[in-house]
């Protein structure tokens, strides 16, 4: 095993609580297990603090009404109970931690915020979609041989991409929440459907989902060609191409080149 591979094992042990308990890790006896456990717990709290502060920033602003700061869960027994199962960066762990935040904030005073449930679903979706492996470095030219050189063949929905049906038009109110206000900003009561996706580099983006987007997200399973998609979704080639372009940039769809 190379030193680089060994470093990866140490990183995994710090990030992955179940792995820390495995014979594969423990038998290597690479470091004082108690010190590793303490540092891993410190890292977990830091990891989720950063994500909660970022993705639940609107709830943080509204804490002056709800009385519930999202990051408070990190000091609660429910979070401590999660620590033995957390895998930093995994979608399941993000869902579990975000769920704690939602439950905590929801129990606050929210009568003045009619769109509060929508907002929490939106923030939760952002945090969950952000989770997952990411590309830190673009592959070298030799490593990309063949990829991207073929025609787009079979589009596939990227795992983790979420469609969100909301009762209120949240995008209209979110920027107002971050500016100074005295009366809580109102959101128009009209249904919107949003798509939340993540780029290969970990950037989370949101867009309003059109009917064309919804159809493609439903149909793009990696086996259908562009012709199949156009026919089944009832889209003209130009409309399909433009929609796929947008979804690819958003990180919601990727292509197999067939090469």
Residue 99, interface with another protein (CB under 8 A)? no
Q: How far is the CB of 236 from another protein (least distance, A)?
A: 35
For residue 81, state whether it binds another protein (rule: CB under 8 A): no
Closer to another protein by Cβ: residue 133 or 191: 133
Out of 27, 111, 136, 180, the only residue in the binding site for another protein (CB under 8 A) is: 136
Residue from 18, 22, 31, 109 that binds another protein (CB under 8 A)? 31
Interface with another protein, residue 8, by CB under 8 A: yes
The encoded tokens of residue 79 equal: 């979070």
Judged by CB under 8 A, does residue 181 bind another protein? no
Within 8 A by CB and 6+ apart from 117, the residues are 106
Does 147 sit near another protein (CB under 8 A)? no
- Residues binding another protein (CB under 8 A): 2-4, 6-8, 10-12, 14-16, 29-32, 35-36, 38-39, 41-43, 45-47, 50, 53, 88-89, 133-138
């Amino acid at each position: 095993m190379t030193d680089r591979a060994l470093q990866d094992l140490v990183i995994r042990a710090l990030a992955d609580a179940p792995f820390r308990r495995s014979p594969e890790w423990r038998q290597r006896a690479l470091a004082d297990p108690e010190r590793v456990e303490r540092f891993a717990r410190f890292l977990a709290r830091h990891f989720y603090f950063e994500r909660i502060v970022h993705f639940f920033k609107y709830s943080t602003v509204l804490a002056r009404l709800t009385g519930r700061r999202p990051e408070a869960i990190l000091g609660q027994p429910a979070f401590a109970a999660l620590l033995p199962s957390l895998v930093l960066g995994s979608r399941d762990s993000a869902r579990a931690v975000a769920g704690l935040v939602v439950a905590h904030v929801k129990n606050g005073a929210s009568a003045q915020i009619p769109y509060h449930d929508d907002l929490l679903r939106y923030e939760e979706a952002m945090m969950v979609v952000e989770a997952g492996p990411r590309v830190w470095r673009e592959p070298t030219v030799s490593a990309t041989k063949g990829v991207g050189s073929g025609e787009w063949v079979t589009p596939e929905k990227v795992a983790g991409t979420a469609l969100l049906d909301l009762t209120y038009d949240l995008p209209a109110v979110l920027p107002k929440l971050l500016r100074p206000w005295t009366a809580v900003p109102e959101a128009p009561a009209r249904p919107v459907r949003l798509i939340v996706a993540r780029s290969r580099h970990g950037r989370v983006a949101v867009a309003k989902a059109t009917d064309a987007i919804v159809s493609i997200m439903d149909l793009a399973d990696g086996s259908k060609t562009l012709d199949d998609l156009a026919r089944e979704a009832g889209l003209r080639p130009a409309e399909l191409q433009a929609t796929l372009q947008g979804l690819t940039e958003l990180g919601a769809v990727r292509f197999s080149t067939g090469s």
